[in-house]
Amino acid sequence: MSTQIWQKELLRSIRSLTELKAQLTVDLPYPVNTNFPIKITPLYFSLINKNNPYDPLLLQVISPKVDALSDFSEAPLKELEFNPLPGLLHKYAGRVLVMLTGACMIHCQYCFRQHFSYQDQSISKLHWQNIINYIKNDVSIFEVILSGGDPLVANNNMLKKTIDSLANIAHLTTVRIHTRVPSVLPNRIDNGLLEIFSQSKLKIILVTHINHPNELCDENMAKIDLLSKKTTLLNQSVLLHKVNDNYDTLAQLSKQLIQGNIMPYYLHQLDPVSGAEFYNVSDTKACEIHQQLVSQLPGYMVPKLVREIPDRKSKSALT
Ligand code: SF4
């Protein structure tokens, strides 16, 4: 199979702090965490203000070093307790999550899976058959969530095979895909992918992970427009210190999402993962910001403020 435009673009990603510093026009006035490797797509980098070390997009892909916090750990969600088969998580009623790939288009330094051992979860042919059998044997499961990593790193051939084999399970109605692709590598939204979505008999819900309005530009909004004609679009943001922890930014984000037919869905409190301490926002501040959104925006523009608690079988609302 020939290399696609998006794959060539991905090869031009920034992959190290040295490379990044060489392309910024300002020195970074803080030390940077280097545990989780840097990876920044060309489109995302083009949206960063190269002269601002506190640019809200830059701060998502490098994390200033701060002191460790005692309640932060490498596995904040204890996902391995809900891992009946390699590549499969089953925690919530009616839904299972499949980790299609461990790779991502971009590395978000607040990522709760930054220490996750994806090697132990890689899905061989046999594992995939076991996952299909697991879903077939539990008629309460109606939705499969494709996650990762970023599931849209998989090529169209693999995605089609995956979605087609899920569509053969009678009690499944929905495939949900969590991805940063629409904002960070919009060229991945090619005709082949749109065709897979429009031809599937399963309902396709795509959850974009967009944290700041500056992540949206004409190029990715055009692809989001195409996606909105084939899928239901929701957005999930993480509340991040110095990135989006204020009313103005989140209100603007909600307005732009609605323009792109994306429903603001969740505003997530950070999962307390080691290495992401810089991004921590107190619950008090989170609730204050959320209250401002509630009081000043129409309801459909206000995402739910939630956090994930490892042993709870649903997300927990903070307000
Ligand atoms: S794209 Fe998602 S899984 Fe990948 S690093 Fe970012 S938050 Fe983590």
Alpha carbon nearest to ligand 1 atom 7, residue? 111
Output the ligand 1 site: residues, CB below 6 A.
104, 106-108, 111, 113, 148-150, 180
Ligand 1 nearest-atom number relative to CA 107: 5
List b or e across 159-168, with b for residues whose CB sees 16 or more CB atoms inside 10 angstroms.
bbebbeebee
pLDDT of residue 1: 64
Tell me the CA–centroid distance for residue 147 and ligand 1, in Å: 9
All structural domains of the chain, each given as residue ranges with its CATH number in brackets, are 5-317 (3.20.20.70)
Calculate how far, in angstroms, residue 295's C-alpha sits from the geometric centre of ligand 1: 31
Which residue from 113, 116, 177, 270 has its CB within 8 A of the most atoms of ligand 1, so it is best to mutate? 113
Q: Which atom of ligand 1 is nearest to the CA of 104?
A: 4
Distance 125 CA to ligand 1 centre (A): 25
State how far Cα 297 lies from the chain centre.
24
Token representation of residue 186: 């919009």
Ligand 1 centroid – CA 61 distance (Å): 10
Residue ranges of E strands in the chain:
88-89, 95-99, 143-147, 174-179, 203-208, 232-238, 263-268, 304-307, 316-317
Structure tokens at 76: 């904040």
Instruction: Give me ligand 1 centre to Cα 48, in Å.
Output: 18
Query: What average pLDDT does the segment 256-264 reach?
Result: 98
Which residue lies with its CA nearest to atom 8 of ligand 1? Answer: 111
The string of pLDDT tens digits covering residues 93-114 is 999 999 999 999 999 999 998 9
Region 307-314 average pLDDT: 89
CA distance 277 to 270: 9
Of residues 177 and 119, the one with the higher pLDDT is 177
CB distance 93 to 313 below 8 Å: yes
pTM of the model: 0.96
Tell me the C-alpha to C-alpha distance, in Å, between residue 126 and each of 100, 102, 132, 133, 170. Answer: 14, 18, 10, 11, 21
Question: Ligand 1 centre and the CA of 213: distance in Å?
Answer: 18
**pLDDT tens-digit profile of 141-197?**
999 999 989 999 999 999 999 999 999 999 999 999 999 999 999 999 999 999 999
- Residue 35 CA to ligand 1 center (angstroms) comes to 15
